[in-house]
C-alpha cells in the first residue's frame, strides 16, 4: 500500500482506538532505517508510522546540505515510493518540533503540502508535531491552535505535547525543568481539548512520568492513571468526547504499563532508542567479529567482503526490523493491517 491519505489515516486511528491497540511510530534517520521499519511492519502484518525529528531530518539531508526541511521532504518522497512495494499501510509524521525550529522545519513542510495539494498531488506528511512544552500552557495552546488551523485546511493532523517528557532527545534537554511538569493534569487536558477539538483533528502527548533515553524496567515511574483521569475529565466537560493520546518516552516501560495506556486511548507510541540500539548492535557485532577484515592492519589489504557497507547494513536492517516486529506485538497491532482501506 502507498502512504495513506487523510481519510485512510483517520480510519486507521479510529479502528485502533475502538480495538484498544496502538501504532508504533518509528523515528528514522536514513533510507536504511526507513527500509528496516517497512520490513518489520510487513513481517508483522501491521500498519504503522514512520517519523522524523528535526535532528534526524537535518542528518538525512547530508553534511553538504544540513537542511531540516530538505531532509524531511526527501524522506517523505522516498518512503512514499518504497511503501507502495509493501503490503501494509504507512503514515508519515514529524516529531518534536520545538518553537525555535518551526520556521526551518514544520512550516516549510506544511507549505510544501499546500503547494502539492494545489497541484492535485497527495499531502507530504499525514501529521506534524509541535512540542510547545517549554512554553506556558496558555502560550502552548495558543500557538497550537494557530498551527492546527493551518494544518486542518490541508487535512493534516497536529500532534501537541503538554507537560514535559523528561531526559534528553535530539539535543533537547529537559533536566532543568521541574518534576511537576512530568505529570499532566486533567484540567490541562480539558483546556487543550476545548480549544483544539473544534479546529481540527489533533493528537495529545500528555505526560505521565515519561522519560526519553535508556532505562531498565522499573527505573521510570509512570502513572498511566493520569491518562485515565484526563480522558474522564474531557468526557465530562465535552459531552463524552475523548482525545487521541500519544505515548512518548517509552523506553524502560513494562508491558503491563504499555497495555494499560492502550485501554485509556493511546493510539500511537513513539519508538526511537530501542531501534537505534538494534540497528547499531548488529554493526558492532560485525565489526568485532571481522576486525582484521574491516581494517587494513599491518599493511594488509583487509577483506572487501566484510568492509563492503552492504554486508553489515543488511544485518542492521534485519536487526532493526526484528525490533519493529516486537514493538508491533507489544502494542497489539501485529496481524491487524487493514489492507486496502
The catalytic residues are: 95
- Integer angstrom CA distances of residue 150 from 97, 110, 145, 155, 197: 16, 8, 9, 9, 14
- Contact criterion met (CB below 8 Å) for 43 and 57: no
φ, ψ of residue 62 to 5 degrees: the values are 95, 155
**Alpha-carbon distance 45 to 84, whole Å?**
15
**Alpha-carbon distance 53 to 153, whole Å?**
23
Give, to the nearest 10 degrees, the angle between helix 273-289 and helix 309-330: 140
b/e sequence 204-218, b meaning 16+ C-beta within 10 Å: bbbbbbbbbbebeee
- Contact criterion met (CB below 8 Å) for 213 and 180: no
- Integer angstrom CA distances of residue 328 from 46, 154, 168, 261: 7, 29, 25, 15
Per-position DSSP letters for 298-320, written without gaps between them: GG----HHHHSHHHHHHHHHHHH
**Counting every residue, how long is the chain?**
341
**Alpha-carbon distance 202 to 110, whole Å?**
15
φ, ψ of residue 258 to 5 degrees: the values are -60, -45
Q: What is the 3-state secondary structure (H, E, C) of 274-290?
A: HHHHHHHHHHHHHHHHC
- Integer angstrom CA distances of residue 341 from 2, 69, 197, 202, 266: 11, 30, 25, 21, 22
Amino acid at each position: 500500500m502507498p502512504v495513506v491519505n487523510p481519510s485512510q489515516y483517520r480510519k486507521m486511528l479510529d479502528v485502533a482506538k475502538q480495538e484498544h491497540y496502538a501504532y508504533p511510530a518509528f523515528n528514522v534517520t536514513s533510507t536504511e532505517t526507513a527500509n528496516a521499519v517497512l520490513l518489520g511492519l510487513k513481517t508483522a502484518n501491521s500498519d504503522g508510522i514512520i517519523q522524523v525529528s528535526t535532528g534526524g531530518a537535518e542528518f538525512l539531508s547530508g553534511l553538504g546540505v544540513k537542511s531540516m526541511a530538505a531532509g524531511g521532504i526527501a524522506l517523505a518522497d522516498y518512503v512514499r515510493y518504497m511503501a507502495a512495494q509493501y503490503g501494509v499501510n504507512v503514515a508519515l509524521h514529524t516529531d518534536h518540533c520545538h518553537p525555535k525550529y518551526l520556521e526551518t522545519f514544520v512550516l516549510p513542510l506544511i507549505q510544501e503540502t499546500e503547494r502539492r495539494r494545489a497541484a492535485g498531488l497527495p499531502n507530504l506528511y499525514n501529521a506534524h508535531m509541535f512540542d510547545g512544552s517549554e512554553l506556558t500552557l496558555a502560550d502552548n495552546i495558543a500557538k497550537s491552535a494557530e498551527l492546527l488551523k493551518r494544518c486542518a485546511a490541508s487535512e493534516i493532523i497536529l500532534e501537541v505535547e503538554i507537560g514535559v517528557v523528561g531526559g534528553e532527545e535530539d539535543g533537547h534537554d529537559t533536566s532543568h525543568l521541574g518534576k511537576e511538569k512530568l505529570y499532566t493534569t486533567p484540567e490541562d487536558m480539558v483546556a487543550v481539548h476545548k480549544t483544539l477539538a473544534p479546529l481540527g483533528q489533533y493528537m495529545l502527548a500528555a505526560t505521565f512520568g515519561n522519560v526519553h533515553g535508556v532505562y531498565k524496567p522499573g527505573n521510570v515511574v509512570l502513572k498511566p492513571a493520569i491518562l485515565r483521569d484526563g480522558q474522564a475529565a474531557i468526557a465530562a466537560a465535552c459531552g463524552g468526547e475523548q482525545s487521541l493520546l500519544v505515548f512518548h518516552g517509552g523506553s524502560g516501560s513494562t508491558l503491563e504499563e504499555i497495555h494499560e495506556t492502550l485501554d485509556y486511548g493511546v493510539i500511537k507510541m513513539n519508538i526511537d532508542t530501542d531501534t537505534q540500539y538494534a540497528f547499531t548492535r548488529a554493526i558492532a557485532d560485525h565489526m568485532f567479529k571481522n576486525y582484521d577484515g574491516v581494517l587494513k592492519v599491518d599493511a594488509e589489504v583487509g577483506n572487501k567482503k566484510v568492509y563492503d557497507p552492504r554486508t553489515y547494513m543488511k544485518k542492521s536492517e534485519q536487526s532493526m526490523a526484528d525490533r519493529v516486529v516486537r514493538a508491533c506485538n507489544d502494542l497489539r497491532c501485529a496481524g491487524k493491517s487493514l489492507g486496502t482501506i
